[in-house]
Structure 1
């Protein structure tokens, strides 16, 4: 079941993390002299806001996994699709994605490969955790 209070907390946390990450990237790029000249304030503010919205959205979208009536496969598919639509829409308007088709296909491919990699990693992580818990419970019984 979706919990509104938890969703709001997660979204605020995501907003803060997104903004801090964007500021850190700008700061690091400025220190490394990759930024030539002065950055327009409107560009800086726009990028910071988009990163904040993106962080808020990513954390909020993860609430899908708390819906108990859906199977894990349904949750993963819904999460992957909603997250991709959310990210690619914002990234396109932020100017992070070129508008030609071949680059979009490459970026979608990278997204799918990365998402599948994370899913496999989390599956193995939680399988190991469950085995550890079961092992500790069986040791208590003996």
Structure 2
């Protein structure tokens, strides 16, 4: 529970950082005024997005589950939450072409990040095992 709360706070803070960063990018692109309602909707969406992207990796902490099941649970939960949020907020236009394009992009980015983490942790395990053999 302690780790869940810590991850939640970190995710919400990261979401807030992203909301401020994106707002500043839009503001400095020449927008004179910001729509308050749109700002609030997008900021809350960034907070929620930061939260669920930071707590769903806790599936990988459940040692009783095998890696393929952990990955499947994480992928399905993140994909469902992200696409519901994206369509409802308007980050992704609600049409088939956009949905397929962003689903493919999401899958590609997810696979790259997953492979990167897998290779990193496999390398760390190899280093630890090599150190144990030297003792």
**TM bin (shorter chain):** over 0.9
> Which residue in 2 is equivalent to 1:62?
57
In the superposition, the TM-score normalised over structure 2's length comes to 0.93
The CA RMSD measured in Å over matched residues stands at 1.3
CA drift of 1:63 comes to 1.4
> Which residue in 1 is equivalent to 2:48?
53
Residue 10 of structure 2 corresponds to residue 16 of structure 1: no
CA drift of 1:83 comes to 0.2
> Which residue in 1 is equivalent to 2:23?
26
Gaps of 5+ in 1: none
The whole-number CA distance in structure 2 between the counterparts of 1:119 and 1:54 is: 18
The whole-number CA distance in structure 2 between the counterparts of 1:117 and 1:50 is: 24
The whole-number CA distance in structure 2 between the counterparts of 1:134 and 1:70 is: 22
Pair member with larger Rg:
1
Residue 115 of structure 2 corresponds to residue 120 of structure 1: yes
For the residue of structure 2 that corresponds to 1:96, the secondary structure is coil
